[in-house]
Amino acid sequence: MEKFLKYWLIILLAAIVLGGLFYWYEWRPISIIKNCERSARITESENMGLISYETAYKGCLRFFGLNK
């Protein structure tokens, strides 16, 4: 227990950094992809096929910084 109290700041910083990395590389891209899929479906239906699903989807991903 004494070592934990001695290194609590290092443990806390490591947990914050690992949480931030998980958010940036796992959670954020998944939520962007979900939102872009939903947005592309809506855009395609609203424009009656003038803008294809793929064009809207890829444009949305590019806008949010994911180049897939």
Residue 15 lies in a domain: yes
What is the band of 2 on the pLDDT scale with cuts at 50, 70, 90? confident
Decide: 24 and 15 in contact? Cβ < 8 Å. Answer: no
Q: How many domains, the chain?
A: 1
Q: Look at residue 44 and tell me if it is in a domain.
A: yes
Domain interval for residue 16? 2-63
In a domain, 37, yes or no: yes
- Is residue 20 in some structural domain? yes
Given a cut of 90, whether residue 68 has pLDDT beyond it is no
User: The whole model's pTM is what?
Assistant: 0.80
* Residue 68, domain member (yes or no): no
In a domain, 38, yes or no: yes
Q: Tokens at residue 60, please?
A: 């949305």
Q: Taking CA 35 as the corner, what is the angle to CA 25 and CA 28, rounded to the nearest 5 degrees?
A: 15
